[in-house]
Amino acid sequence: IISEIVIKHEDSSNQQITLPDLENLDIKQGDNAVAAQVLIAQKSLLDFIEENNCLLSLSVRHQAIIDRVQETLKVQFIINAGQNAKIGQIEFVGLKTIKPKYLEKVANLEHGNCFKRSIISKSQMMLRQTSLFSSITPDIAKQTDKDGHANVVFNVKESKHRTLKAGINYGTDVSFGANLG
């Protein structure tokens, strides 16, 4: 049985973040101790913090302390939150034929907006869906600048561009014809 649920911070963690109430977690004091439910609660906690804060980095882990005599489990969720951050400069490195302005529109990132890793991942996915690149790797600043901005550099490798060709032809021996390529 779960005897206690605690949320605490690593020593180096940013403690000025919004956290959910313990009552809103997927597990409760008095529930049966099921490992899968603890992992689901950990993921929900991570998602809540990510959604409600602007953080350069974030990790959530858990520690389960078993009391075999009382047949109970104390669950501690341990948070390591980085600096509060906003999106800084966005840069694309490795471009040969594609214009950065087009990619800025596709990536949908704006300088000064709330920094979230999920937003960077979504931008990477949107860039990948263009099929213009064989690789896209975001490189995020380890620290914010004095204004709290974190720069994002997308290292890209352009894939071979595609060409469509269409044509019609006429020959006295075969009449009209069409070709696509």
pLDDT tens digits, one per residue of 77-132:
999 999 999 999 999 999 999 999 999 999 999 999 999 999 999 999 999 999 89
CA angle 111, 146, 110 (to 5 degrees): 5
What local confidence, expressed as pLDDT, does residue 141 receive? 93
Mean pLDDT of 40-60: 96
Q: What are 81's two structure tokens?
A: 């939150």
Strand pairing partners for 62? 77
How much of the chain is helix, strand and coil, in % rounded to 5?
25, 40, 40
Sign for the pseudo-dihedral over CA of 38, 1, 5, 13: negative
Distance CA 92, CA 103 (A): 8
Mean pLDDT of 144-159: 95
Higher per-residue pLDDT: 6 or 165: 6
Identity of the amino acid at 101:
K
Return mean pLDDT, the chain: 93
Least confident range from 28-32, 76-80, 159-163: namely 159-163
153: pLDDT strictly greater than 80 = yes
pLDDT cut 70: percent of the chain above it: 98
Q: How many Cβ atoms sit within 10 Å of the Cβ of residue 38?
A: 21
Distance CA 113, CA 88 (A): 8
What local confidence, expressed as pLDDT, does residue 168 receive? 84
pTM above 0.95, yes or no: no
